[in-house]
Amino acid sequence: MNRFAQYLKQLAEHEEERVKSYLNDPRAKILVNAGISLNWLGDFFANPEIKWEEQELPIEKIQFTGATPEWNKILIDQCERSVEKFQELIDKQPKLKKRFQQEASFGSEIILVRKSENKDFYKVLDGMHRFMGSVLKKEKKVKVFTPINEKSVLPICEAHTIYDIIRGFVRNARDAEGENELYHALKLLCRTYANVKTLLKERFNENYVRDKKVQEVIKKILEK
C-alpha cells in the first residue's frame, strides 16, 4: 500500500470514529443510510414527531413501489402498481410467477406503508419483497405500520444537504446568478424540511460560515 492509500485508509477510520456517537441513534442511522440507499425511509423515521400506527389493510389497497429495474418493468410499467393487475398477469404467465416466487420473501415481518398520492391507496415504504410474498400467496389482508400524521409534520434533513449547496455556491457559482440560485435552493429546503431554519440559525451562522455573501442570503431567508 502506497503512502497516500495508507493515509486515505487512516483518514476514513478517523472520520468513522468521529461520527460513531451520532450513529448510535437509530433515527440518525436510518437518515444517513437513506441518503446512501436513495430511499424515503429517512423522510418518515428521522423526525420523532411523525407518529406510527399498526393496522391491517386489504392487500389490494396497497400499491407496489420501486424495486429492481426488472421488477419495475412489470410492477410499475406494465401493471401500474396494481396488485390486482399483477395477479391477473401471473395467472396467465406461470413462468413469470415462478420467477417472482424465487425472488420474493415469505417472512411474516410487518411491512411499512405510507399514504399514496391517490388517497384511496397506500404505497410500500419498506418490505417490498415481503409484500410480494403476501401477494403471491393471495393473502386478503396485510399487517402494516403506517404514519398517521405525516401530512401535518415535515420530515427533517441532514445538515450536509444545506452544506453541499452552500459549498457548491462558494466554490463554483460565486456570482449574481449563483446567489439567486442559492437563495431559492435554501428557500425550498425551508419549505419542505422542518429543521432547515434551525440549522441555518445554529449551524450555518457567521460563527461557522464566514462568508459575507452566504450570510446575506441566509439573513434574507430567515427574515421572511
Q: Looking at the structure, do residues 75 and 102 belong to the same domain, yes or no? A: yes
pLDDT digits (tens, 9 = 90+) for 187-197: 999 999 999 99
- Residue 119's pLDDT is 80
Tell me which of 147, 182, 198 is where a domain ends: 147
- Residue 224's pLDDT is 73
pLDDT digits (tens, 9 = 90+) for 183-219: 999 999 999 999 999 999 999 999 999 999 999 999 9
DSSP 8-state class, residue 60? G
Closest C-alpha among 17, 38, 19 to residue 29:
19
- Residue 108's pLDDT is 86
- Residue 176's pLDDT is 96
CATH number at residue 84: 3.90.1530
Residue 153 lies in a domain: no
- Residue 182's pLDDT is 98
Query: How many distinct structural domains can be found in the chain?
Result: 3
Q: What is the dihedral of CA 203, 29, 17, 22, to 10 degrees?
A: 40
Q: Cell numbers 407518529 correspond to what residue?
A: 51
- Residue 149's pLDDT is 94
Q: What share of the chain has pLDDT > 90, as a percent?
A: 93
CA 221 from chain centre, in angstroms, equals: 25
- What is the rounded distance in angstroms from the CA atom of residue 185 to the CA atom of residue 203? 17
Using 50 as the pLDDT threshold, list the residues of the chain that sit under it.
Answer: none
Q: Looking at the structure, do residues 217 and 179 belong to the same domain, yes or no? A: yes
- Residue 27's pLDDT is 95
Q: Looking at the structure, do residues 204 and 164 belong to the same domain, yes or no? A: yes
- What is the rounded distance in angstroms from the CA atom of residue 122 to the CA atom of residue 157? 23
> Which domain range does residue 110 map to?
52-147
- Residue 37's pLDDT is 92
Residue 45 lies in a domain: no
